Amino acid sequence: MISKNKNSRCGKIKAWLHRVAGSRLGLDAAWVQKHIADCPKCRQRLALLGRVNLALSMIKSQPHSLDLLMRANAQAIGVLRHSLRYSPKAHRLKAVRPEPKLWERCRKYTHSVANAAACIAIVILMKTGIFSYMNNVQTQGRNVVKHYYAAQVGQDMADDMFST
């Protein structure tokens, strides 16, 4: 019971610390806003950060091809010093492409696999006799209903109803 109280108290203090740190150290803090208004370098950095965030959100919202990583690496390498730009690691990095996950590589085969699985399931059900068992149940049910009508309205009338 003591640990439960301690945990709830710790959670409240943790939440309070996050609020205080965010209000004192975040971009919305008054001193940060004043500094950005007065400092051209920081204002430019913040503008560039905003452009990067906008670009990242656009990349996330649009489908992209697999060579996006390769193109991004080539652009990033282009701004490096000359000695780094032409190093062997930089050449390997330029040609890097993301490896799609196994599920993404096999996605085009999902319908075929599902159809094959359905066929296999039907064959297994047929081999285990489920379908013939269901046919037997249907026949027995029909006989019971026929017997009920024969008892209620007569055998000849029941025979006429169930002759088809």
**Whole-angstrom Cα distance, residue 134 to residue 138?**
6
Q: What pLDDT is stored for residue 76 in this prediction?
A: 79
Token pair 């699985």 in the structure block, residue: 117
Q: What pLDDT is stored for residue 60 in this prediction?
A: 66
Q: What pLDDT is stored for residue 18 in this prediction?
A: 76
To the nearest whole percent, how much of the chain has pLDDT over 90?
3
In this prediction, residues 12-29 reach a mean pLDDT of: 76
In this prediction, residues 131-139 reach a mean pLDDT of: 80
The H or E element spanning position 62 is: none
In this prediction, residues 31-45 reach a mean pLDDT of: 85
Q: What pLDDT is stored for residue 42 in this prediction?
A: 85
Q: What pLDDT is stored for residue 116 in this prediction?
A: 92
Kindly state whether residues 31 and 72 are assigned to the same domain: no
Kindly state whether residues 28 and 78 are assigned to the same domain: no
Angle, alpha carbons 151-155-161 (nearest 5°): 100
Most confident region among 19-28, 55-64, 151-160 by mean pLDDT? 151-160
Instruction: Give me the domain span that covers residue 16.
Output: 1-62
Q: What are the φ/ψ torsions at residue 89 (nearest 5 degrees)?
A: -65, -40
The conformation of residue 26, written as its DSSP 8-state character, comes to: S
Kindly state whether residues 113 and 149 are assigned to the same domain: yes
Kindly state whether residues 89 and 131 are assigned to the same domain: no
The total domain count for the chain is: 3
Kindly state whether residues 76 and 53 are assigned to the same domain: no
Q: What pLDDT is stored for residue 156 in this prediction?
A: 86
Kindly state whether residues 137 and 156 are assigned to the same domain: yes
**Whole-angstrom Cα distance, residue 40 to residue 26?**
19
Kindly state whether residues 50 and 87 are assigned to the same domain: no
Q: What pLDDT is stored for residue 117 in this prediction?
A: 92
Which residues 6+ apart lie within 8 Å of 109 measured at CB? none
Average pLDDT of the chain is 79
Q: What pLDDT is stored for residue 64 in this prediction?
A: 61
Nearest Cα to 76, choosing from 93, 99, 100? 93
Kindly state whether residues 54 and 74 are assigned to the same domain: no
* Residue 63 scores a pLDDT above 70: no
Kindly state whether residues 130 and 142 are assigned to the same domain: yes
pLDDT in tens, 73-112: 777 777 777 777 788 887 777 777 667 778 777 888 888 8
